[in-house]
Amino acid sequence: MRYFKPSLTLLLTLAAGSTAQSIVDLLEGTPELSNLTSIAVMYPDLITTLSGASNITILAPNNKAFSDAMKMMPAAMAKNTEYIRSLLTYHVLNGTYRAVGFGDDSRFLPTLLTDKKFANLTAGDSQVVKAILMDDHASVYSGLNKTSMVSRADTYFTGGVVHIIDSVLTLPMNVSTTAIAANLTAVAGALAQANLVTTVDTLTSITVFAPSNPAFQAIGNLVGGLSNKQLASILTYHVVPDRAFTSDLTNNQKLRTIQGEELTIRLDDGDVYVNGAKVVASDVITNNGVVHVIDGVLNPNATNDEPDTGASTQAPAFPSATGSSDVPFTSGVLTPTGSRINTSSPSATSSGTGAQPNSAGSITGNVVIAVIGAALAFAAGIMV
């Protein structure tokens, strides 16, 4: 990215009522935020809005964060003002949240991001970041489970508070991209086979309980015999037309799915279960809701399936299921690193470089970089 250098003070003068300790004073007085300042001045209306705002929190990436982000960002992307504007707006929280207020349990804090292209949520739902305070360290999770640490908390300005963070947040992406980044290739492939990708990617404010690859392997003998109608019925039974973070869930809660039948939530000793399946990785924010990874495939014909909360793994919800060594539905599915899985070629799935997510669906390292590259290219594509 090339930085322009219009005078920030000039922009401030143009902006409404500059007072002492304005956000602009704060930015100009903080050398480690000079890259953020250089980018922000390219969006004078944003500066005006922030200068006039009260009761906001700014997550301000430091210069190291920007230099890391720019290494991954294709040039076309850096020039995509619509994308950069949404990305910057995602760093502004609606409310004053001191780092001590983040809390030991995850809190989902509303941001000012409203562009439907990047946050397709129903009226009343704000796009969020997940904030957590653990052992006195505040951190923030964004799209694709990107983790940013707060390196300097609680600097006040007239409109609220700034936390300096060590990496740029990731804009939440659609469900299919998020699934692939999490190595949830079986559910990604199953959605494609059942023609449901567009549905899950474009519904607003949803919760997706995404079975892990081992969950699909555990019913491996059955998947070949499913009609597309049955597969669609099973998959839509994993989608709830409301956004529910794990902190929203209550014991014995019933959630109506888009398939029509209900799911039952159970909370036990800090663990969350959906029917007979356990949530093994939770609260990955997408552009239209949230994804939780579960260790079993849910069966719409077994709505009374219950967990064995003492067990380390749950029995499949499908009678007569037996496991397979192959991961179903994955032929032709993109891997997190962008290569396509070739089920006839065992080596094909390991052609990527660097860190890989684990089979539980967590997202790590280079996987995220590869997917961000794809997503940035996508966002660049919608520009011109």
Ligand X SMILES: *[C@@H]1O[C@H](CO)[C@@H](O)[C@H](O)[C@H]1NC(C)=O
- C-alpha–C-alpha distance, residues 188 and 179, integer Å: 6
Q: Does 344 bind ligand X (CB under 6 A)?
A: yes
Q: Candidates 72-80, 98-106, 244-252, 342-350 — which segment interacts with ligand X by CB under 6 A?
A: 342-350
- Asked whether position 95 contacts ligand X by CB under 6 A, the answer is yes
Contact by Cβ (8 Å): 118, 260: no
Contact call for residues 106 and 206 (beta carbons, < 8 A): no
Q: Give the number of residues in contact with ligand X, rule: CB under 6 A.
A: 52
Exposed, middle or buried, 198 (CB in 10 Å: 0-12/13-18/19+)? Answer: exposed
With contact defined as beta carbons under 8 Å apart, do 220 and 326 qualify? yes
Pairing of strands 289-294, 206-211: parallel
Q: Closest Cα to residue 148, out of 42, 68, 43?
A: 68
Choose between 252 and 320: whose C-beta lies nearer to ligand X. 320
Buried-exposed string 234-243: b where 16+ CB fall within 10 A, e elsewhere: bbbbbbbeeb
| Residue with Cβ nearer ligand X (201 or 252) | 201
Q: Which of 18, 30, 49, 63 binds ligand X (CB under 6 A)?
A: 63
We find the least distance from the C-beta atom of residue 360 to ligand X, in angstroms, to be 8
Report in angstroms how near the CB of residue 110 gets to ligand X at its nearest. Answer: 6
Cβ at position 243, least distance to ligand X in Å: 13
Please calculate the CA angle 325-219-341 and round it to the nearest 5 degrees. 50
The residue range among 74-82, 170-178, 261-269, 304-312 that interacts with ligand X, by the rule CB under 6 A, is 170-178
Using CB under 6 A as the binding rule, whether residue 43 contacts ligand X is answered as: no
Spell out, one character per residue from 204 to 243, where the chain touches ligand X: x when CB under 6 A holds, - when not.
Answer: x--------x----------------x--xx---------
End-to-end CA distance of the chain: 18
215 within 8 A of 298, measured Cβ to Cβ: no
The partner residues of 161 in beta bridges, in order of sequence, read: 57, 156
Stretches 150-158, 164-172, 253-261, 370-378: which one binds ligand X (CB under 6 A)? 370-378
Q: How far is the CB of 9 from ligand X (least distance, A)?
A: 15
* Binding positions for ligand X, rule: CB under 6 A: 3, 34-35, 38, 55, 63, 67, 94-95, 112, 114, 116-117, 120, 126, 145, 147, 173-174, 176-177, 183, 185, 197-198, 201-204, 213, 230, 233-234, 281, 284, 293, 300-301, 327, 342, 344-345, 349, 356-359, 362-363, 374-375, 378
